[in-house]
């Protein structure tokens, strides 16, 4: 089988690369870093929600202010009409409208006062959140610096593996590379290529699957055979 040695070398490098990363990710500091990141995002979301709410309340204040100005202007006009009215009936006829405008004015004022109260509270909470974010960021940066140091110790080997894998990727038969890449994409953890186990005339896969005579001849002809059970690619050593 052409390029089999190269794909096996690629696979070996890949396994070591994944092992290094898996071990690094098991690092408790890595978990702490992830959790600090989550905490930060959580506080950030609350912060943004408070800002959005304050903006909405601010717009409501503007609107209530405009409405209260209009209501005050109408009250002025109604009061002038009231003074100018010549009969008690005419005066009485103006009263309901005056009441309506006054209560409108009151509710606008209440809205402004309530919204301002709420905005003040939001501002306090925003500044607390800002402080909290700063503290989490400090923790995050500290852990990150520790991790960075640890990363530097594994990085040379990691880079070397990556470089070699890059070279091999260019050299290996693209079809074999594709088989490997697809198997990994489907969620198979390497090894993808495994040597078939021989016991006399019987051939089997590492998963225990025994090859039928037809499968054996296919393996011998093509040099590789996909296991029917675990889908790994068998080759003859």
**Tokens representing residue 197 in the block:** 């186990």
- Under the criterion CB under 5 A, does residue 196 sit at the interface with Zn ion? no
Q: Which stretch binds Zn ion (CB under 5 A): 49-57, 138-146, 164-172, 205-213?
A: 205-213
Q: Which stretch binds Zn ion (CB under 5 A): 35-43, 138-146, 167-175, 198-206?
A: 198-206
- Under the criterion CB under 5 A, does residue 195 sit at the interface with Zn ion? no
Do 47 and 133 meet the contact criterion of CB atoms below 8 Å apart? yes
Q: What three-state secondary structure class fits 236?
A: coil
Rounded to whole angstroms, how far apart are CA atoms 170 and 228? 29
Rg (CA), the chain: 38
- Under the criterion CB under 5 A, does residue 197 sit at the interface with Zn ion? no
Rounded to whole angstroms, how far apart are CA atoms 36 and 139? 7
Q: Which stretch binds Zn ion (CB under 5 A): 24-32, 86-94, 100-108, 222-230?
A: 222-230
Rounded to whole angstroms, how far apart are CA atoms 27 and 29? 5
- Under the criterion CB under 5 A, does residue 194 sit at the interface with Zn ion? no
Query: Quick one: 98 or 209, whose CB is closer to Zn ion?
Result: 209
- Under the criterion CB under 5 A, does residue 205 sit at the interface with Zn ion? yes
Alpha helices for 85-232 (secondary structure H):
88-171, 174-185, 213-222
* 202 Cα distance to chain centroid: 50
- Under the criterion CB under 5 A, does residue 212 sit at the interface with Zn ion? no
Q: How far is the CB of 151 from Zn ion (least distance, A)?
A: 36
Among 121, 195, 229, 237, contact with Zn ion (rule: CB under 5 A)? 229
Strands 202-204, 233-235: pairing is unpaired
- Under the criterion CB under 5 A, does residue 230 sit at the interface with Zn ion? yes
Question: Binding residues for Zn ion, how many (CB under 5 A)?
Answer: 7
* Interface contacts to Zn ion, rule CB under 5 A: 205, 207, 209, 227, 229-230, 232
């Amino acid at each position: 089988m052409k390029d089999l040695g190269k794909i096996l070398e690629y696979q070996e490098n890949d396994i070591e690369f994944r092992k290094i990363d898996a071990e690094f990710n098991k690092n408790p500091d890595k978990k702490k870093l992830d959790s600090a990141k989550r905490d930060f995002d959580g506080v950030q979301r609350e912060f943004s929600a408070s800002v959005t709410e304050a903006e909405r309340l601010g717009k409501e204040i503007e609107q209530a202010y405009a409405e209260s100005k209009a209501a005050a202007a109408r009250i002025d006009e109604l009061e002038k009409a009231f003074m100018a009215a010549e009969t008690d009936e005419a005066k009485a006829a103006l009263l309901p409208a005056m009441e309506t405008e006054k209560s409108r004015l009151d509710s606008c004022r209440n809205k402004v006062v309530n919204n301002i109260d709420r905005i003040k509270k939001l501002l306090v909470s925003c500044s607390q959140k800002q402080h909290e974010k700063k503290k989490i960021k400090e923790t995050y940066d500290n852990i990150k610096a520790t991790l960075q140091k640890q990363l530097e110790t594994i990085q040379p080997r990691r880079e070397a593996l990556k470089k070699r894998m890059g070279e091999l990727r260019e050299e290996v038969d693209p079809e074999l590379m594709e088989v490997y890449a697809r198997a990994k994409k489907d969620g198979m953890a390497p090894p993808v290529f495994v040597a078939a186990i021989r016991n006399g005339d019987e051939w089997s896969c590492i998963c225990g699957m025994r090859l039928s005579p037809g499968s054996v001849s296919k393996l011998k002809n093509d040099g590789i055979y996909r296991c029917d059970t675990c889908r790994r690619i068998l080759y003859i050593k």
